[in-house]
Amino acid sequence: MMTPDYAALATAARAARERAYAPYSHFAVGAAALTASGRLFVGCNIENAAFPVTCCAERVALFAAYAEGEREIVALAVAADTRGPVSPCGSCRQVIFELAPHATIILANMGEEITVAFPHELLPGGFTPDDLPQ
């Protein structure tokens, strides 16, 4: 398995953040998903006046990778203008847990701060397809 370049992925997430559509929260977030084939998929948060249909940057990046047939996510970087490294929301943690279960998760802010985590650390005891009735 390849070792992701944490700084480069954080930089890609920071750049993706610039394309965010966040007129309500004014909280722009960017994400970059690296696949095992070496492809990079970026995402930004896209808000909507009907708040429940807003989509977070992490999900945009992961869904883009999956839509292109990529199923093995090696790393996912997330960046926002926060005091310390940004943390994914609960919904994103669940999606990361299922779609990128073995990925390295790079959490960053707009400075140089980076924290590395793994899906099982972000969502201990996460819900899996095995929890559904057979």
Q: Of the listed 47, 58, 112, 113, which one is catalytic? A: 58
- The encoded tokens of residue 125 equal 């005891």
Q: Measuring CA to CA, how many Å separate 6 from each of 50, 106, 115?
A: 34, 7, 9
Is the CB of residue 60 less than 8 Å from the CB of residue 21? no
For residue 47, indicate whether it is catalytic: no
Count of other CB atoms within 10 angstroms of residue 61:
28
Residues with active-site annotation: 58
